[in-house]
Amino acid sequence: MLKNSNISTLKKEGNKYFARNKNFYSGNRENYIISDLFRTTKIAPKSILEIGCANGIMLDQYQKQSNAKFCHGIDLSTKAIKNGKKRFKNIKFSVLSSLKIDRIKNNYDLIVCGFFLYLLDRQEIFSQFNSIYKKINKNGYLLIQDYNPLFKHTNRFKHNKKINVFKMSYDNFLEESGLFKLIYKFRTNYSLLKKNDLKKFKSDDCSFSLFKKIDFKKSYPENL
């Protein structure tokens, strides 16, 4: 079986994903969760990077809600990026793997993981978040939009049996690192498990989780 990090495989799947969800990525839409996030937290990033941006439809909303001066979206789908460049002239787009963001010269006030972490091989998790951490400005933010099941598990991707999907919550993982603090969370798509789902636990629960980049020494007192 091919690793998910095989770029050729993910590029093809990215294009197919964009085609399957063309109704979502067409037209203009307002996401009430994004509105609630910015209204509740009062964050005002001046620069935003979205990893897994598709055609930028969500990134466009982040920009409008925050009045960010510079927004950059990256994705492996060439079709999505091509569509995004036509639709959103105020956003910079690049075809780039999430594992190669060290090639980007800029740092950002907010980095968004736009529903791609579930496709990342678990062996790449530490290096992925290490790269992301280095690209976030001091006191910046990380927003994760991804699956948020009751417990971590893996399944074969129903659209491509060569790909495994990995579903887990990143809250404890990031907070225990001492590098991030969870400041906002919105869970959605909650559904009770059906009997035939109990064996493989194919959860569809997901969330928007916002973390602030912190200095562990300054954020927590010494243990007396």
Q: How many CB atoms lie within 10 A of CB 1?
A: 9
- Which tokens sit at 158? 């129903």
Residue 224 lies in a domain: no
Which residues lie below 8 Å from residue 215, measured CB to CB, with a gap of 6+?
Answer: none
Least confident interval from 17-21, 120-124, 162-166, 201-205: 201-205
Residue 64 lies in a domain: yes
d(CA 92, CA 160): 30
Q: State pLDDT tens for residues 100-157.
A: 999 999 999 999 999 999 999 999 999 999 999 999 999 999 999 999 998 999 988 8
pLDDT at site 196: 45
Q: State pLDDT tens for residues 160-199.
A: 888 889 999 999 999 999 999 999 999 986 454 344 444 5
**Domain at 194, CATH number:** 3.40.50.150
Residue 16 lies in a domain: yes
In whole numbers, what is the pLDDT of the chain averaged over residues? 88
Q: Three-state SS string across 42-88, please?
A: CCCCCEEEEECCCCCHHHHHHHHHHCCCEEEEEECCHHHHHHHHHHC
**How many structural domains are present in the chain?**
1
Residue 215 lies in a domain: yes
Which residues lie below 8 Å from residue 167, measured CB to CB, with a gap of 6+?
Answer: 118, 147, 149, 152, 153, 154, 155, 203
Residue 2 lies in a domain: no
Helix axes 57-66, 32-41, angle to 10 degrees: 30
Residue 1 lies in a domain: no
Query: Which one, of 136, 167, 170, lies nearest residue 154 by Cα?
Result: 167
- Domain housing 211: 7-219
Residue 209 lies in a domain: yes
Residue 133 lies in a domain: yes
